[in-house]
Structure 1
Amino acid sequence: MYFQKIIILLLFLLCSTAFCLNAQDNEIHIATGYSVANLHWSIAGNTDGKDPDILSELVWSRLRGPLWSLGGRYYFAKKWGVELSAGYHDIKKGRVVDKDYAQDGREGNYYKEQFNSQGKDATVDAMLNYHVGNLWSFEIRPFIGYTLQKQEVLMLGDEETERDLRSSYKTTWMGAQAGVNASRAFNRLDLRIDLSGGLLRYRAAALWNLIEEFAKPVSFRHYTEAYQVKGMAELGYTLTSKIRIMGYYRLAHSDAWKGTDRAYYTDGSSIDTRLNWVTTTGKAFGVGLGYLF
């Protein structure tokens, strides 16, 4: 019932405004918020994905901490627009579980340990959009662009498990993206919705102190291709002709397909096995301040 009242109030505010402003204004904005992410990957025993089908898997969960972002939008030639954004997620806390198996189907679990985690995550997005028309009074702008995400997550010991352990797994997701932006202004209030998808390259490198036979500082690498889907809803309010405040909620999900896991050893040798998958999901929310021009 409480949720229904909020929806009714929002609809009333949207429908009762006397006039609409332009939903698209040039803007530079800064924002702060909070983000939570998960990361999961596994490898098989050989390049055919057998012996066993899942040899080892790592699961990072609730990688959480503050998020800062900076961005801008600029519209030109009546129809065209560009958007740039960058964000930094300071991962203050999380957990990671390391599991190894001797048999197919996650049977014969001979190793399972849980560790603390911290890390960092940086993203950059660049987009070019075009106003194709209006739908239900929303300005519709399809866009194409480029996305880059670099993340480092740590495996940290504690008083009970490997106190001096400090292993790291660094990921890079990069490639083309395409999507659509829908926006509408209702007097001082405005709503923006972004939906996008992309085809990406996935690369990762690990420093693995947990196994002495692994080489350092690069113990193994991962290579494959991936896809990504993202969505964001942003609600803003124009305080003055130049100042806008806003709140946002964002979701992102990425999956990497079968690829190569290449391990490096202290004797100079290397071995390839199959990377089964990599998947990551993140959500973020926050508030920001924009300057309109």
Structure 2
Amino acid sequence: MCLKKSSIFKCSIIAFTFFCSKTTAQKYLKKKLKIEFGTNYSVDNFKWSIAGNQQGKNPNVLSEITYKSIKRFGIAMNLHYNITNQFFFNVTLNHLYTINGQVTDIDYAGDNRTYPNSQLLFKSKKGKENMFNPYIDYLILKDKKINLVIGIGYNVTKNSYYFTSEQASDIKTIYYPTWQAAQLHTMLTSHLFNKFAIELRINESYLFYHATANWLLRTDFNHPKSFTDKAQGYGTDLDLEFKYCLFKHITINLSGIYSNWKTNAGIDVLYLSNGSNTRTKMNGAYRTVKGLFISGCYSF
């Protein structure tokens, strides 16, 4: 049901941009180099869990960590270069800092999240995100109303999630996930009026997930490497951007961003302070992000 709703949503946006276009979109391709710089605000919801053993049992959810409404603010930059009239190179960089959020750590004695034997609630007032996303695009459709571009890309996103008290300096534990992605990229651009344009970007990703934790809450765990998680999965990114041409070479932009990433089951390796280690099933990691990006773009 969720997939059907997502597909209807995407098709509706594409149809909207097509029928709203009034003038040519050729101006988009005339500039050789574009540099976009601005501020990014996002709200991140992220969770992961492990089972009691490698078979996914005893119980099927042993421990679950949920980060709720992790608010981040920072800077972002995009560089666009026209290699030819049809091939383009783009690279996007993000650097965000955590402002606030909360996290729960719940352990269960029974299957299906029954018989909780430990429930911890913390603040999350520290952390950051760094993202590097280069991609190559190819123009496949150009007419008087619309441009359609497809491409391939690579994304690496590194996060740090902290357990803290009310004071950000009071650190209880740290989790460092890294998402690497091979991406298929689609971009639809349409000019609504002489000075207004709308752009829809869709990324479909195959994800490689790796995380390391420094679990300071447990003295029987090794430090600073307490355990690692590995898994693979898939994700979707949607970016709807409104552009206004302020001057000949300058535009101002407002973007709405949505991401939905998740992994399949993977492996969790626990490292104990006595030098031994144990393996168990990682049930998966799930992340959704909603955000706003306000920027200015200078074109050469």
- TM-score greater than 0.5 by the shorter chain: yes
The root-mean-square deviation of aligned C-alpha atoms, in Å, is 2.0
Equivalence for 1:5: none
Structure 2 CA distance, aligned partners of 1:59 and 1:114? 10
Maintained 8 Å contact 1:20/1:187: no
Equivalence for 1:128: 136
Structure 2 CA distance, aligned partners of 1:89 and 1:36? 11
Cα displacement (A) at 1:77: 1.9
Distance change in 2, residues 1:276/1:71 (3 Å): same
Are 2:231 and 1:244 equivalent residues in the alignment? no
1:213-228 mapped onto 2 (5 Å cutoff): 213-228=220-235
Equivalence for 1:259: 266
Structure 2 CA distance, aligned partners of 1:114 and 1:260? 25
Equivalence for 1:33: 40
Are 2:61 and 1:54 equivalent residues in the alignment? yes
Maintained 8 Å contact 1:35/1:67: no
Maintained 8 Å contact 1:23/1:184: no
Maintained 8 Å contact 1:93/1:116: yes
Q: What residue ranges of structure 1 are gaps of 5+ in the alignment?
A: 1-9
Cα displacement (A) at 1:65: 2.5
Are 2:147 and 1:139 equivalent residues in the alignment? yes
Aligned-residue sequence identity (percent) comes to: 26
Equivalence for 1:181: 187
Cα displacement (A) at 1:135: 7.0
Structure 2 CA distance, aligned partners of 1:46 and 1:90? 35
Equivalence for 2:5: none
1:165-217 alpha-carbon deviations (Å, 9 max, x no partner): 42000000002100210112231111111011111210000000111100000
Distance change in 2, residues 1:132/1:265 (3 Å): same
Are 2:88 and 1:81 equivalent residues in the alignment? yes
Maintained 8 Å contact 1:79/1:131: yes
Structure 2 CA distance, aligned partners of 1:268 and 1:212? 13
TM-score, reference length from structure 2: 0.88
Structure 2 CA distance, aligned partners of 1:237 and 1:28? 15
Q: Secondary structure of 2:28's partner?
A: coil
Structure 1 CA distance, aligned partners of 2:53 and 2:86? 53
Structure 1 CA distance, aligned partners of 2:240 and 2:143? 17
